[in-house]
Amino acid sequence: MNKRILQLAVPNIISNLSVPLLGAVDTALVGHLDDAYYLGALAVGGMIFNFLFWGFGFLRMGTTGLTAQSYGMRDRTEMFMILVRVQLVAMILGLLLLMLQKPISVLCFWIIESSREVELYSLVYFDIRIYTAPAVLALYGINGWFLGMQNAKYPMIVTVFLNLLNIILNVFFIYVLGMHVDGVAWGTLISTWLGLGLAVFLFLKRYKRYIGHYVQKRLADLEEIKKFFIVNRDIFIRTLCLIFTFSFFTAKSAEQGDLVLAANTILLQLWMIVSYGIDGFAYAAESLVGRFSGGNQKEKLRRAVWYTMGWGLVIGITGSLFYGIFDRHILHLFTNQVNVIAIAETVIFWTVMAPAVASICYIWDGVFIGATATQPMRNSMLLSTFLIFLPAYYVGTFYLDEHGLWLAMILFMIARGVILSLYAPFKIFHQDGINR
């Protein structure tokens, strides 16, 4: 079982870590420009697209779980039809985002309170990066499909290619052409569309024969469409809560000034780096739990859950130890602005705690997605957001000032893990819970 997990997890870890690596490089590039508002603009612009694109993360997560279950049942026709459906939905949603870009930007900058300079450069970033939307959503669908097919290698190739190209282009645009956040946006736009082209090439290289399994009447199969949208509805609500939490965090950081926003942006990057590493095992859990639940292999399902949970905890604890030992050195890699570093040092111990604390909920997410047990995920996120995070923020900031915001984030992660742990015996391990 460990061999299977590592075969899926290691490529996922490599591809996942390239995502925060890109964010870290972007943060470091912009963090070394003359003014802090560039870093604030990158944070606000990134938050807006996290809200837009993470909200459609169900295109990947739901596709992985459904495809893995069809793989376990050896239903090749349904495997391919899932890909067709998700790409059709991705195309429609991507075009819709382009059509609505103006009202979206107006609404976002009305909600977010920031300095005039941050808003100005955030808008420059937004107006360029919005054109990645169709490609981003299509990539969600095809990478989710690859993972459901127990193929973690192709998403790794696509993601690493995309992010390394993005880094190269960003360095070129900023250091050679003298651009700022607009250079980061152009680098993202170009690399995303080329990444989609590579994904299509890889699909045709290995899975071209699946095109022969296309059945027109199965495209509108009401039962399968209902299942697709029920699963994705719950994941969508769950993801909106997650986006709201991180967006709320960034917005409240922006209210405290450009220096606090810049410091918190760097610390959140450190959260993301380890979380993406743990997510490598969460993705492995998605693939294996979906496969074993689809094939009704209950004992293998149990082993997959506990083995991936163990690996996730190891990565999380290791990340916490690393941040605890090298905290100051890491901050200096991201920025040379003394005031930003001083603010970050006062709250960095919350970031040191985060990897170990959050690892449990990250792995449970993968398990529940693979089993398509999405209602507990939705419920746990709603409870954690509105009954834990928001009250903890308002009470915590009253007594602890800037530490209250970080305390709320930690309690949010703990609550997610606890609630999903309570659901697991009934929705994952109980014989009647599989495939619900």
Q: How far apart are CA 166 and CA 192, in angstroms?
A: 8
Top pLDDT among 42 and 251 is at 251
The overall average pLDDT reported for the chain is 85
Q: Assess if residue 355 is contained within a domain.
A: yes
Tokens at 327, concatenated: 């905290």
Q: Assess if residue 435 is contained within a domain.
A: no
431 pLDDT band, cuts 50/70/90, is very low
Q: Assess if residue 282 is contained within a domain.
A: yes
- Nearest-5° Cα angle at 349, 343 to 355: 125
Per-residue pLDDT tens over the stretch 17-30: 665 566 667 666 66
Task: Single out the residue of 113, 20, 39, 17 nearest to residue 341, CA to CA.
Answer: 39
Residue 88's pLDDT is: 92
Q: Assess if residue 175 is contained within a domain.
A: yes
Say if CB 415 and CB 388 are below 8 A apart: yes
Q: State how many domains the chain has.
A: 1
Task: Single out the residue of 181, 157, 179, 183 nearest to residue 170, CA to CA.
Answer: 183
191 pLDDT band, cuts 50/70/90, is very high
Give rounded-to-5 percent helix, strand, coil for the chain.
90, 0, 10
- Nearest-5° Cα angle at 230, 229 to 236: 80
Q: How far apart are CA 11 and CA 17, in angstroms?
A: 10
Torsion of CA 233, 237, 242, 245, to 10 degrees: 160
322 pLDDT band, cuts 50/70/90, is very high
Say if CB 287 and CB 148 are below 8 A apart: yes
360 pLDDT band, cuts 50/70/90, is very high
CA distances from 154 to 89, 258, 359, 434 (A): 22, 40, 25, 28
Return the half-sphere exposure (C-beta side, CA atoms, 13 A cut-off) of residue 237: 17
Work out whether the CA dihedral 188, 86, 308, 420 comes out positive or negative. Answer: positive
Mean pLDDT of 255-281: 83
**Domain with 213 in it:** 2-429
Question: Does 37 have pLDDT greater than 70?
Answer: no
Of 210-224, 348-362, 405-419, the poorest mean pLDDT is in 210-224
Give SS3 for 257. coil
Mean pLDDT of 169-176: 86
Q: Assess if residue 434 is contained within a domain.
A: no
Q: How far apart are CA 356 and CA 377, in angstroms?
A: 20
Say if CB 364 and CB 420 are below 8 A apart: yes
Residue 149, Cβ neighbours under 10 Å: how many? 21
Q: Assess if residue 17 is contained within a domain.
A: yes
Per-residue pLDDT tens over the stretch 287-313: 888 888 877 788 888 899 999 999 999
Question: Does 407 have pLDDT greater than 90?
Answer: yes
Residue 26's pLDDT is: 65
Q: Assess if residue 113 is contained within a domain.
A: yes
Q: Assess if residue 220 is contained within a domain.
A: yes
Tokens at 35, concatenated: 């003014």
Residue 21's pLDDT is: 61
436 pLDDT band, cuts 50/70/90, is very low
Top pLDDT among 383 and 346 is at 383
Task: Single out the residue of 386, 296, 302, 354 nearest to residue 74, CA to CA.
Answer: 296
114 pLDDT band, cuts 50/70/90, is low
Question: Does 400 have pLDDT greater than 90?
Answer: no
Residue 432's pLDDT is: 47
**Count of all residues that appear for the chain in the document:** 436
Q: How far apart are CA 147 and CA 63, in angstroms?
A: 9
Question: Does 35 have pLDDT greater than 70?
Answer: no
Of 140-149, 287-296, 427-436, the poorest mean pLDDT is in 427-436
Rg of the chain in Å (alpha carbons): 21
Residue 434's pLDDT is: 42
Question: Does 233 have pLDDT greater than 80?
Answer: yes
Q: How far apart are CA 77 and CA 98, in angstroms?
A: 32
